Amino acid sequence: MTRILDFNGRDADRTATVASIVALRGTSTQFAQVTAGTADEAAAAEAAGIEMVVCMASSVPAVRRGSSRVFVTAAIDFGGAVTVDELLGAAFQALGDGADAVITARRLQAVERLAEEDVPVMGHLGFVPKKSTLYGGVRSVGKTADEAIKLWKQFQRLEDAGAFAVECELIPAKVMAEINQRTGMVTISLGSGPDANVMFLFSSDICGESERRPRHARAYGDLAALHQQMAAERVKALTAFRADVASKGFPNESEVGQIDADELNRFVKSLAADGKNGKTRG
């Protein structure tokens, strides 16, 4: 654990820092990164010893409520920011909310602008989901020599723009291995093989929640079965409640408040007296 001062100047402990992530280069040590969007998911990641999480920028406050220690990267491309200045504003907001870095798949000028302000910025290369139509669908990127050469040039330009790390998605493993030996950026592999500094999977895939688990992912749990069990148990409980209401089986004596018999008699007599005095409401 490392003591830092966060973007707001407050004391904080972190499982990783930009410096310790960069220091992974040239070593055999790897960090693990997962997605987190809620306080519960962030707390679980910390408890599991996960060093890094990535989330939507809007989810940073919730993630920080769950963990003050994990390294949080905020994705700033999904909140409506369009111009470079808007992306910079989104980055500062995310850092102010507790993020340690930001990630963007936008143009190099955006990366340069963020880096100029010393915002720790990651890029995203290989398969970028929001650009899938450009690749003709979901597929590996870099499967031909020409495409791999083009990809390598993108890595070079991204590094020159000032990114300290890059998410590498669906790049053929052997291509990724060659690039990893040559780039100065920290590499984060999502479906791009084992030769990277950080191994990344979606929490929903790890925990067995995804309806369609991608080939590169591995399920270590079966939360989907638990969710189904919970849904069935919810319907079962609600059905039983409805049946008890229909049969007058709810509530029973133990589930209602009681009044002493003498006190009840006094109350009833008072109501009767009110009736005789013409105070009964119509």
Residues belonging to the active site: 169
- CA dist list (Å): 191 to 17, 127, 129, 213: 24, 10, 13, 12
Strand pairing report for 2-5 and 11-14: antiparallel
CA dihedral 23, 29, 35, 38 (to 10 degrees): -80
Can you tell me the distance from the alpha carbon of 158 to that of 203, in angstroms, rounded to the nearest whole number? Answer: 27
From the list 75, 80, 81, 83, the residue with the least C-alpha distance to 103 is 75
CB atoms closer than 10 angstroms to residue 165: 27
Tell the burial category of 196 from Cβ atoms under 10 Å away from its Cβ (0-12, 13-18, 19+).
buried
Can you tell me the distance from the alpha carbon of 85 to that of 110, in angstroms, rounded to the nearest whole number? Answer: 8
Tokens of 192: 């791009």
Handedness of CA 236, 239, 243, 249 (dihedral sign): positive
Tokens of 261: 């018999």
Can you tell me the distance from the alpha carbon of 266 to that of 63, in angstroms, rounded to the nearest whole number? Answer: 58
